[in-house]
Every structure is written in C-alpha cells, then in structure tokens.
Structure 1
Amino acid sequence: MIYARKGDTWELYSRWFSVPIALLQDANPHLSHELHDGEVVRIPGFDVVTYHSQTTDTLEQMAQSLSLSVEALERMNEDRLLLRLPRRLETSIVNGKQPYDFSTMKQDMDDLCTYYPFIRQRTIGTSVLGQPLIELSIGRGRKKIHVNASFHANEWITTAVVMAFVNEYVLRLTNDASMLDYYQKVTLSIVPMVNPDGVNLVLNGPPEIEPYRSNVLQINDGSSDFSQWKANICGVDLNNQFPAKWEIEQMRKIPKAPAPRDFPGVAPLTEPETKAMARLTEESDFAIVVAFHTQGKEIYWGYEGCEPKEAERIVDELAKVSGYQAVRYIDSHAGYRDWFIQKWQRPGYTIELGEGVNPLPLAQFDAIYEASRNMLFALLAVC
C-alpha cells in the first residue's frame, strides 16, 4: 500500500508499479477517481517487506534491483530507519497438490484477496453445517462466465484445480499487460466448492456435531471410509437436485433414501447448497456456465436440444485445447448444467476432468490442471 498525496493520480501509480489502472481502481473501490491526501491505496500483485535499514545501497540501486521507480520507493521510505520494499509477486500462492478441504480453500481465498484485492469475495449461501458458499468474481466485462467445482464430495480435486487457475489468472493480470483485455471484456464468477460439508467428510471424516455424525455413519453402513461419498452431508446428490426432468431421475435412481451418491432428494432444490446455486444463477445473467467434475476426459454440452448453435463452436475449441472428447447428449437429467441450458438456452458445459476411479489421485493434478487452464483461458478468449 501507499499513502496518497495531493495531486497523485491512478496513472502515476500505474507507471510506478507497472499495474494497469483498471486493476488499481478495482483494488480500491472505496476511493474515488480523484485521490486525496492521506488516503491508503492498495497496490495489487505486491507484497511489502519491512526491516530495519542497515544497507548502504541507495534507493536508486534498490529501485533498479526491484525493477521499480525511484519515486515509488521514496514515497514508501520517507523514514529510512525502516525500509519498506515492495516485492512483486511472481509465483503462486495456491498449492493444489494436497488434500484440499474447505479450510485450505478459505485460507487461499483470503490470501489471494489480500494480495489481489480486485478479486471480489462474497457469500452466496451456507451449507447444511453452516459453511459459507463463496463466490469469487474477477473482471469488469459485460459477459459473465460462471465456473463451479466440487458439486460432488469425492471430486474435491476440482476445487484445487479451479483455485490454482484463479491464482494463475490474477498473477498474469498483474504481470502481463496483454491479459487486461480478458479482464475488460469478461466478468468471471467462480464458486470453487459447492459441497464443503461433503468435501470435509471425504477428507477429514465425519463431523463432531450430531445428528450428522451418526447419520452419515448409518448411511455409509457403519464404515469410516468415506472416499466414495459424493452427496452432501444429508446424503443428497447435489447434481441431481435441479428442476430439469428431476422426476425422471427420482423414478429411476436406485437409492430412494439418503445415500452416499445418486439420491436426488424428495423434491428439486431442497438442499441449501442447490438453493444457493440456483439463486446465484437466476440473479446473475450468466452467458456461459461450466461445472467441473471427474472423471472421463469428456465435455458434455447439450441437453434436450435446448443448447444454442454457438455451444458447438465453443465446445469444439475446448476439446481442441484440452484433448478431451465433446459429447453432446447423455442419458441424464436434473444436473446443474441441464437446468441452465433448459431454462436459458445458453451454453453450459460439464467437464469431466482426468480419468480413472474417483477420487482421482493427486498424481494426476498437473495433467488435469493443464487441460483445465487451457479450457478456461479458451473460454475467456472466445468472449
């Protein structure tokens, strides 16, 4: 951060720190176009290292080594007893190659929003156990693209992939001026973990709180191995909860009661997680939605002939950059993507990342991430 002086401008700070004006302004929504003396201005994409000065280097020498302007360092170091050196972030904060539960995700979110305060974070609802369902938003564009992950509990690697992409995107925005076009044209909405209770159950075991602890153990036939659990904490499959021929799924699904997977509930949109996702979607006017799942290396893109013509052009590009197979129709209903396509007749995609048996091993992370990032950047480009 830096303290503004009378006469300072966004253009000045952009020149000093080589950060686009749009990112500076969006990182400081509390400030007006005209800066005033003493206001605190946050500089996205930078950390600040503070230590007692014992160096004989001049500010000019330090500025050169940091690839920053001398003026910026002078402003930040009027008292040379303490040196405040801005350090441009050039590496990722997010480590996706680990068991990625809710607390890990939340810490990464908070860190990213601290260093890249143009990211907007808000709670769109809460899970059964009261965990916040969080949406991150990036960009100024009129076209809104939505991405979500971990509808299914044992597909938690999708959250790690999405969070790693968020980190790469904001890192590139603050270090590569050519990326700003995406930021200006598209607003990217991300809900990285739709099913936090389920993810925590798979990774950390049953919750302490009753009756949920006893219930999940009973549903799981007394087993403490929850690795195959897909549902939310109540045993409802969240991706069988949407009002797109839900009745067909209710009729033909084998579990007629709460289960580790596939139980669609007693009616559409009974669960707080699906209610929150439906409300977000209805309020947001998304142009495109993408739901990340595992596994199969496939991209599902049609539903009952409701998909628009442009959906095929987009999926062809996604398949090209990922090597995944585009599949127009599958015998499935009541999914989030199904409902979106049916209700709005806009492009919607379910992307089945990786291949093998769920939960996919972290050894696949690099390959999965490479395909995912290529598809997400392709989506930004087609807009």
Structure 2
Amino acid sequence: MELQWIIVQSGDTLSRIASAHHMTRALLAALNPEAAAQPYLFAGQMLRILPGTGRRYAVQPGENVGWIAERFGLNEKELRDANPEFANVEDWCGRCIHIPDSNGKTIVRLQGEYGYRELSRDVALLEKQYPFISTGTIGASVMGKAIPYVKIGEGPRHIHVNASVHANEWLTSAVIMRFIEEYARAYTDSVPWQQFRTERWMQETTLWVVPMVNPDGVELVQEGVINRHPHAKQLLAWNAGRPHFTHWKANIRGVDLNDQFPAHWEEEAARRGITSPGPRDYAGKAPLSEPEAKALAEWTEQHSFAAVVSLHSQGQEIYWNYRDLEPRESAPLSRRLARASGYKAVKLGGSDAGYKDWFIQQFRKPGFTVEVGLGVNPLPVEQFDDICVEVGLLLAELLSDGETGTEPLS
C-alpha cells in the first residue's frame, strides 16, 4: 500500500488523524517525525499516511465472511462495510482485510482525543437516537461555546453529574457520555445494565449531566494556540512561554474553575497563594467570576438535586465531606460507592471553594468529588474502558440509592 498525503485541518491532532485513517498514533508519528516533534499540528501542514493499517487480518483458506465477523465480535454487514473494496468479491481467501472496532454501533467512542466537537456531535446523536433523552445548555464559556446538559429519566429523585471542570481531565467527559449511552441502550432493549433494572432508574430518578464544564480549556489542552488562537499571546505568557498545554487545568482566562465557588473562597485563594492567571490553582478575582462556574452554580440552584458528583482525575478516590456540613448519609453512601467502583472513600481536609464543597455548604445534601483513573493527566486512553466500568458501577449505586432505589437483579 502506497503512502498518501493529507492536509491538516484546524482542530486536527495526531491521535484524531490516526484514528480516522485506521492507523496507530505511533505509526503516524513514525511516518511524520517532524510533525510529531511539534507540540501541536499546524493547519495546512501536510502529513504522510498509510491508511487502513489498523487491525488487519489475512483471510485463511476455508474461512468465510460470516465466520470472520463472528470471531471478532461483529456482524457480517459491519465487516463488509469496513472493506468496500471487496464488496463484489465472494471469496476473500488470501486477502488482507480491515477489522473495524467491535463497538461499531456505539455513538460515544474515542477517536483520538474527546473534545468539544466530539461532545457536541454525540449529544445531538444521542438525543436523535433516544427520544427520552433531552438536552439543552446551562450557559456559555468565555469564548462563547454553549455548555450542554443531557437529561435522562423522569423520576422524582434528581441526581447531577458534571465532568471536565479541569481542562486536562477531558477523558471524564467521554466516560459520562458512554454511561448515558449504555443506560439508554439498555432501557430501549429492555435488558439490565450490569444486572440493574434501568426501567426503575427511569421511573424513580432523573439524571442531569453537564459533561464538559470547561470546553475552552479542553480545546486548549488538545489543540494548543498554534492555529490563530485569539488569546494566543496572553496564554503563552501565562504558560511561561511553553507551547504545550497538556498540563493546563484552568479555563481560557487562566482561572481554576474548581476554586471558584463561594465556599470559604477567600481562604482557598490565600492557601493557594496564586495571584495571577496560569495553568492551575488561580482562584480568580472573586468567586463565580468566570462564566462557566457562574452558569453551573446558577443552574444547580434552579434544581433540587438529591446528590451531585463531580468527575475529576486521577487517584481512584471519592471525597465526600466538607467542614462537617455534609448530611449524616454522606459517609455510608460514600462507602457504598467505593465498594461498587473499587475506589477509596476519603475524608478530605484543607480544601475549599470546589463545586462539591459549595453544594454541601449550600444545600446540606450529599456531594462527591470522584477522582477516576491512575497516572498523569490527561490520562492514557487505554484506561477508558476500565474507567467506564468503574464510574458506571458507582453511578448505578447512586441511582439505586434510597428506599425506592433500584435493586440489582438477584
């Protein structure tokens, strides 16, 4: 197979391009070492690709398409669609074919980074696919991006989950979106989700999700400021001149959104000791000075949530307390969430101004910060499937809480 050339578009990354052309990121980088050495790709840059070099299979004598598809967890149509060049060939023996991902019907999937454009696409597709899912926005980011929410369920007990408050923790957005899709698909097919009855979740709870609180920051981490970013000069200055932003947690104005909430904000700002914008830990000039934090707080006040969860990474820990203001049920509930997920329930001190802190202080109801995965942010995408299971089981336990909660099937 001969090398081909493509032109990089705005928003493209090595991982996204590799995924789109069924290549590994390592192979794409090896074919384009100069581009791989850059912090980000330039729009207009040309890259060498070797398309279709992902998962390949040499068809053996006696094998037919249906047998190969079953072996790889596919149906025959999915396999044929992935190999259109052989559409009119009956016998595939001796041919090298492409094996697509077995989750071909899945809407939410990682194809390189999971950013704002992937999220926007998936929100629209989920709403179209599942009529009982509704969506809307809670407000807009500094740069004017709508911050979407997704709602599923019609029950009287309302639960809220948010993700990607910190920019380089974008994997949490894909995790919560995958849970929504799995829940919706199980309910549609009238089958349990991990032995839980989704029809009871639907009847007894309403789940409200804000999957990407910090869309500007996520975009910055993934795409940098190379392609005429309107805030490039200021961001580079705040980043000490470094062109790479993978360590960035703040919003586009260099404010840490999880230090923005009016729960002893002054003490948190003093404890951090950061007095100017930067990648992390700057609490801003005042609580709720940033539109993303303000929108989330105002939206939360408009609902009567029984409990909230803010997904972060990393550490596999669950923080459940705040200055002894949490209700009595928070501690035992945190232990149940820990058993379900395999994470550790931790009583945390010396921290203020987070979303969970403010929610507990304001409403005296259970609030949790859940640190998913292990490693350095952004977490490796190889952890995605495991984290989806862990977070899914944690949320299943939370959705099943209370006297009318859903019990797992015996």
TM-score, normalised to structure 1's length?
0.75
CA contact (8 A) 2:323 2:349 kept: no
AA at the equivalent of 1:123: T
Aligned length: 295
AA at the equivalent of 1:145: I
Measured against aligned partners, the alpha-carbon deviations of 1:56-76 in whole angstroms (never above 9, x if no partner) come to: xxxxxxxxxxxxxxxxxxxxx
Match of 1:224 among 240, 243, 246: 243
User: Do structure 1's residue 326 and structure 2's residue 326 form an aligned pair?
Assistant: no
**SS of 2:400 mapped into structure 1:** helix
Residue in 2 aligned with 1:9? none
CA contact (8 A) 1:90 1:171 kept: no
- Supply the distance in 1 between the matched residues of 2:319 and 2:362 (Cα, whole angstroms): 17
Match of 1:362 among 361, 381, 401: 381
Match of 1:125 among 122, 129, 139: 139
User: Do structure 1's residue 182 and structure 2's residue 201 form an aligned pair?
Assistant: yes
CA contact (8 A) 2:340 2:394 kept: yes
Q: CA RMSD in A?
A: 1.6
Offset at residue 330 of structure 1 (A): 2.6
Distance 1:191 1:206, change over 3 A: same
- Supply the distance in 1 between the matched residues of 2:228 and 2:320 (Cα, whole angstroms): 39
Residue in 1 aligned with 2:96? none
AA at the equivalent of 1:127: S
- Supply the distance in 1 between the matched residues of 2:200 and 2:386 (Cα, whole angstroms): 27
Residue in 1 aligned with 2:273? 254
**SS of 1:134 mapped into structure 2:** strand
- Supply the distance in 1 between the matched residues of 2:230 and 2:146 (Cα, whole angstroms): 20
Q: How does 1:1-383 map to 2 (within 5 A)?
A: 91-96=105-110, 98-176=112-190, 178-206=197-225, 211-382=230-401, 383=405
Distance 1:315 1:96, change over 3 A: farther
Runs of 4+ in 1 over 3 A off after TM superposition: 207-211
CA contact (8 A) 1:144 1:286 kept: yes
CA contact (8 A) 1:139 1:187 kept: yes
- Supply the distance in 2 between the matched residues of 1:319 and 1:217 (Cα, whole angstroms): 40
Gaps of 5+ in 1: 1-88
Offset at residue 222 of structure 1 (A): 1.6
Offset at residue 329 of structure 1 (A): 2.2
**SS of 1:284 mapped into structure 2:** coil
- Supply the distance in 2 between the matched residues of 1:255 and 1:247 (Cα, whole angstroms): 12
- Supply the distance in 2 between the matched residues of 1:226 and 1:176 (Cα, whole angstroms): 44
AA at the equivalent of 1:342: Q
- Supply the distance in 1 between the matched residues of 2:377 and 2:136 (Cα, whole angstroms): 30
CA contact (8 A) 1:97 1:365 kept: no
**SS of 2:142 mapped into structure 1:** coil
- Supply the distance in 2 between the matched residues of 1:293 and 1:165 (Cα, whole angstroms): 16
- Supply the distance in 2 between the matched residues of 1:96 and 1:283 (Cα, whole angstroms): 33
**SS of 2:275 mapped into structure 1:** coil
Offset at residue 312 of structure 1 (A): 1.6
Identity of aligned residues (%): 47
AA at the equivalent of 1:114: K
**SS of 1:125 mapped into structure 2:** strand
TM-score, normalised to structure 2's length?
0.70
Offset at residue 123 of structure 1 (A): 1.0
- Supply the distance in 2 between the matched residues of 1:107 and 1:207 (Cα, whole angstroms): 24
AA at the equivalent of 1:255: I
AA at the equivalent of 2:188: T
CA contact (8 A) 1:97 1:160 kept: no
AA at the equivalent of 1:311: S
Compare 274-283 and 326-335 and name the one that shifted more: 326-335
Distance 1:112 1:211, change over 3 A: closer
Gaps of 5+ in 2: 1-102, 192-196, 406-410
**SS of 2:302 mapped into structure 1:** helix
CA contact (8 A) 1:161 1:372 kept: yes
- Supply the distance in 2 between the matched residues of 1:106 and 1:319 (Cα, whole angstroms): 31
